[in-house]
Structure 1
Amino acid sequence: MALNTLKDRVRMATAEKPVKAAAVPAVVVEGATGEELRAAEQAEGGKATDTVMAWLERYGDDFTAALPAHVDTGSFMAAVRAALPALSRCTPASLLQALLTCARFGLLPDGKHAVVKAEGATAVFIPMYQGYVELMYRSGRVGSVHVGLIHEHDEWSFEPTAPAPLDFTHKPRVDLPKAERGPVILAYAFAWMTSGARSAVVMLSREDAEAIRDEYSQAYRRAEDSGRADSFWHRDFNAMWSKSALRRLHKLVPMSAELVALARVDDAGDAGQVQVIHAPTGDGAELLAEADEAHERAEDSQAPEDARERPVSRTRRQPKRQSRAERRGARR
């Protein structure tokens, strides 16, 4: 009998004696909700998660090496444990890769900063917009980032030709019940630099967000084609709307090599491609050069219109992928 769940495969790989699939109770039923997954996990007494966590602990040194110094390994693994019930049908290899990728960027898979999601039998690392904000702060050049949603009955104004900060104001009508604030009509994002300058304001309509979704999100198209409607665009459109506005802000704020790498890994996961575990690879020279170029564009965007240089388009090359032997040698 085939071993269909992650727990089955891990037990088979780690047990001294073969484990029969029939003797291993199933953790989830295909298509179960998050609540059903947690209930199944509790009914089993946590044995499934314990088994997978014991397997992941074999790679403790890899997680410690991948995590930035400011992120506690215990906190990261606690978030991993909470996420495992929803990943029981993922292959061990894809789960390990997604979690190491998440660790590399120092983002907890807590549903707020990042998520590790099952795409069929493949675990995929997905940074949320709060994760992008976190990496912007780490660059040391961004003082604060503001991302918001404007409801129909909120008070707001936008005058792009006015000087910052007079060009944009938003006063949410928090005094009104949610139903009376009306639907969301715009998402926006802007940042204040540590130098005191402020970026331009990115405004994104629902139509803009839907166009981005339809053109770039293969995960959305796969969910539509399968009839499951379980992509993040389906489950939390407003969060993805905010994330899209924030990603457009990248062209207007200083970027680090780490932030460039995060965007690439995010795009790769959405396209169903292999995500790089320890991006940026090597010395990250190409990513650093691209980040510096983005920083120059950000500074140029604050200059008067007649003083700006015309942007030069260039094709972004993918970083050279290390071989398995090279990665083993690097870990040694």
Structure 2
Amino acid sequence: MALTLKDRVMARAGTAPTASAEDIQHDRADGAEETPAGHDEQAAASFAEWLGRYGRDVEAALPAHIDAGTFLAVVRGTLPDLIGRCTPASILQAVITCARFGLLPDGQQAVITVENRTAVFIPTYRGYVELMYRSGLVKSVVTGMVYEGDEWEFEPTAPAPLDFVHKPQILASAENRGKPLFAYAFAWLDGGVRSAVSIITREKAEEIRDEFSRSYQQAEKTGARNSFWHLRFDDMWVKTALRALAKLVPTSAELRALVAVEQAAEDGRPQILAVLDPEATALEADALRAAAAAEASQDVPTASALPRKASAGRGRTPRRRNRDRNKRR
């Protein structure tokens, strides 16, 4: 029987294809030693062994327009930092997830980092922009940061593009430009139409970080202060504006899946399930949030509030409506 990519990944990760999300939570790499600084030959041998075991699955996951040799060359430079520090299953799943989006884990489009002995795929804001372009509906994406010394105006009730103007003082010194006030993002769409402007203040960015970023919370708890919010706050600030923009422009299934995959990482859930079945993952996340809200308020969630797949109910006869019509007749 032919196996799907999902089946092969689960099998190679030592997990049955029918396993639930809870069943494939990554085990801690107990007893794993930190990879010592070795010679290039040792790194090459490790990559060759890894490629021999998983190369076919990685190539199968890549979009047709991404060259497998280029992608694997970038992965080759990433693996030495992961092998020995993460479980093999988590490395495989992070690389497969990255491959499915066709984003290079080169620090520009995406990164694969280590969190609690687990390899995690994280797209950068440039990765989000790349997927917006691929949709074919977005012609240009503009991001920026407004500083105290800049000229700007925002009038939401004015028609686009007159509602937002930003004139940065690019020749001014950092001291004269002042502190950053907010990050923004907007897109020019097919036909010359401009999207709404996504604006994220520092207060809003910190609120989102504190509430939703598990890696930031963990880094604060341990005192490591090594999350991306700690190390690259401005990049994460702009990325937050881009994620908000994704809700304001025509998006592809690929971009929606990218949001679901990144949220899965923040929630501590396996990313590979989100990329292979983003709709089911989104429904699961909605259900968990609804249950948490109901428990907090002691309210019983109504049936209408439960998340449903877009295809649910299609082709069914609205029975109550038909009965009402018969009564009127």
- Normalising by structure 1, we get a TM-score of 0.71
- Tell me the CA shift for residue 176 of structure 1: 1.7
Which of 225, 228, 232 is the aligned partner of 2:224? 228
Q: Aligned letter for 1:83?
A: T
Q: Residues 244-295 of structure 1, C-alpha deviation per residue, up to 9 Å, x if partnerless?
A: 11111122101111111111110011221111268244xx7879xxxxxxxx
Indicate the residue corresponding to 1:325 in structure 2: none
> Would you say the 8 A contact 1:149–1:242 is kept in 2?
yes
Which of 85, 101, 116 is the aligned partner of 2:80? 85
Indicate the residue corresponding to 2:133 in structure 1: 137
> Would you say the 8 A contact 2:261–2:274 is kept in 1?
no
- Tell me the CA shift for residue 199 of structure 1: 1.0
Distance 1:79 1:180, change over 3 A: farther
> Would you say the 8 A contact 1:219–1:272 is kept in 2?
no
Q: Secondary structure at the match of 1:276?
A: helix
Residue 202 of structure 2 corresponds to residue 206 of structure 1? yes
Indicate the residue corresponding to 2:46 in structure 1: 52
Indicate the residue corresponding to 2:68 in structure 1: 73
- Tell me the CA shift for residue 48 of structure 1: 4.2
Distance 1:81 1:180, change over 3 A: farther
CA distance in 1, matches of 2:184, 2:169: 16
Which of 241, 244, 251 is the aligned partner of 1:248? 244
**Higher Cα radius of gyration:** 2
Q: Aligned letter for 2:35?
A: V
Aligned residues between the structures: 257
CA distance in 2, matches of 1:72, 1:199: 32
Distance 1:134 1:316, change over 3 A: farther
Indicate the residue corresponding to 2:35 in structure 1: 27
CA distance in 1, matches of 2:254, 2:114: 24
> Would you say the 8 A contact 2:260–2:275 is kept in 1?
no
Distance 1:229 1:317, change over 3 A: farther
Residue 211 of structure 2 corresponds to residue 215 of structure 1? yes
CA distance in 2, matches of 1:228, 1:248: 28
Q: Structure 1: any 5+ residue segments left out of the alignment?
A: 1-23, 29-39, 288-312, 320-332
> Would you say the 8 A contact 1:153–1:181 is kept in 2?
yes
Q: Aligned letter for 1:235?
A: L
Decide which moves more: 79-88 or 250-259. 79-88
Q: Residues 89-120 of structure 1, C-alpha deviation per residue, up to 9 Å, x if partnerless?
A: 11111101100100000000011111101012
> Would you say the 8 A contact 2:96–2:272 is kept in 1?
no
Which of 166, 169, 175 is the aligned partner of 1:170? 166
- Normalising by structure 2, we get a TM-score of 0.72
Q: Residues 279-321 of structure 1, C-alpha deviation per residue, up to 9 Å, x if partnerless?
A: 244xx7879xxxxxxxxxxxxxxxxxxxxxxxxx9665699xx
> Would you say the 8 A contact 1:97–1:277 is kept in 2?
no
> Would you say the 8 A contact 2:260–2:274 is kept in 1?
no
Residue 105 of structure 2 corresponds to residue 109 of structure 1? yes
Q: Aligned letter for 1:126?
A: I
Decide which moves more: 56-65 or 114-123. 56-65
> Would you say the 8 A contact 1:143–1:192 is kept in 2?
yes
Q: Structure 2: any 5+ residue segments left out of the alignment?
A: 1-31, 282-303, 311-329
